[in-house]
Structure 1
Amino acid sequence: MVRVLVIGANGKVGKLLIKKLKDSEHVPVAMVRDTNQVPQFEEMGVETVLGDLEGDFSRAYYTIDAVVFAAGSGPNTGPEKTVVIDQEGAIKSVELAKRFGVKRYVMLSSMGADTPGEGPDAMKHYLYAKHRADEHLKQSGLNYTIVRPGGLTNNPGTGKITFGEKLNEFGSISREDVAETLAYLLSVPRAEKGSFEILEGDTQLEEVLAY
């Protein structure tokens, strides 16, 4: 049984990911910042651990085999908060994964993070933060996968996506399908040491990287 620490478990994608992992062969551990976020996961029978990306969250890594970083500062925060959470928080999580010998690390990034200078002005601080975190992960020596979705929606998931290292198109994808992709790629050897873009599409998720 693989124990998976979900950083950002209380976020929209994080909550969906916890449910997907709970229904899989993995054992999710929800990292939350506040005690009032704990009961919702306890009701699901999911273990929780307190950890704040702005502080020391090393205790969250005890007995952990894999990490999924799904945290984000949110669309309404300024550049400073984005750097603290999406960049520095992610980098700290990578360093802790190295220290604790984590065997698998999956990063939820964003489409456009590979070329942040080309993004819209309002998004550049966010894309640069994601870019720096992604590059740090690539150089870490960890067994990583980076997932870069397009615009996120709250539509129901379809279990079908468009998937590739570089799609050269823009679009959207439901948060549910993003969560399912994150859970799926944890166990796909061909996803290791790779960066992938995803959008809504016609390919069944279980067919992605299956051959």
Structure 2
Amino acid sequence: MENVLVVGATGTTGRKVVNLLKSSPYFVPIAMVRKESQIQEFSEQDIQTVLGDLEKDISHTLDKIHKVVFAAGSGGRKVVEVDQEGAKKMIDASKNNKIKKFVMLSSMGADHPEKATELKGYLEAKHNADEYLKTSNIRYTIIRPGALTNDKGTGKIMIGKPLNKRGSISREDVAQVLTRTLYDDALSQDCFEIVSGNELIGKALDSLTNS
């Protein structure tokens, strides 16, 4: 069993990742929370937590951690402090702790933020964090979904690097992709885009691995 730190565990997508990992025979989720008041929600489900604030020192959060899922976001309020610098801080700490894999939840459009007509600051922050991860020498996977929805997951996606297609995708399906890329034999040193589609998630990931 590998311990997986879920950064952004109190967010909508992060919670789904935690729940998926909880039912996995291979991974143990460790939910990173910012406030003590958030611990109870997870402890009631018998899920371990660690206190950590991305705007402060977070080096202690990676004790006995094997892999990281970074699904944190400031909701547009502190894109530089959290989405960019917070991610960099976690990447540095992961490198120092010899983390085996870092799975980054990014965003479609982060490859060319200068072309954005909206959310430009957010996409720039995600772009900078992604590029920092690519040069970190950590084993990584960067996932760039289209617009996130709260629709029920279909278990099917469209995938590409790049996809050259806009679209949306449910948070449930994104959480499935995030957890599946934690496996050692899943896509590594790779960055791809996803939206809702007609191909089963596992098959779509395999097709990208073999392409």
Flag structure 1 segments of 5+ consecutive residues without an equivalent: none
Distance, in Å, in 1 between the alignment partners of 2:160 and 2:21 is 23
Mapping for residues 148-159 of structure 1, pairs under 5 Å: 148-159=144-155
Indicate the SS of the match to 1:182.
Answer: helix
| Superposition misfits of 4+ residues, deviation over 4 angstroms | none
**Equivalent position SS for 1:189:** coil
Question: Are 2:199 and 1:198 aligned?
Answer: no
Q: In the alignment, what sits opposite 1:57?
A: 58
Q: Cα distance, 1:49 vs. partner?
A: 0.3
For residues 195 and 188 of structure 1, the distance between their equivalents in structure 2, rounded to whole angstroms, comes to 16
Q: CA deviation at 1:60?
A: 0.7
* Cα deviation digits, residues 163-211 of structure 1 (max 9, x gap): 1111101010001111111001111524100001010111111213335
1:128 to 95, 105, 124: 124
Q: TM-score, normalised by structure 1?
A: 0.95
Amino acid at match of 2:185: P
Which deviations, in whole Å up to 9, do the C-alpha atoms of 1:91-129 show, x marking residues without a partner? 000000000010100000000000000111x31100000
- Percent of pairs with identical residues: 50
Gaps of at least 5 residues in structure 2 are: none
- Taking structure 2 as the reference length, the TM-score comes to 0.95
Secondary structure at the residue paired with 2:10?
coil
Answer yes or no: is the 8 Å Cα contact 1:188–1:209 preserved in 2. Answer: no
Instruction: Go from structure 1 to structure 2 and tell me whether the alpha carbon gap of 1:180 and 1:197 turns closer, same or farther (over 3 Å shift).
Output: same
Kindly indicate whether residue 146 of structure 2 is the aligned counterpart of residue 145 of structure 1. no
Amino acid at match of 1:150: G
Residues 61-210 of structure 1: pairs in structure 2 closer than 5 A: 61-75=62-76, 77=77, 81-120=78-117, 122-187=118-183, 189-210=185-206
Q: How does 1:1-16 map to 2 (within 5 A)?
A: 1-16=1-16
Residue 200 of structure 2 aligns to which amino acid in structure 1? Q
Task: Return the alpha-carbon distance in structure 1 between the equivalents of residues 68 and 81 of structure 2.
Answer: 19
Alignment RMSD, CA only?
A: 1.0
Whichever residue aligns with residue 176 of structure 1, its letter is E
Distance 2:183 2:41 in 1: 26
Q: CA deviation at 1:35?
A: 0.9
Cα distance between partner residues in 1 of 2:139 and 2:130: 13
SS at match of 1:208: helix
Letter paired with 1:88: E
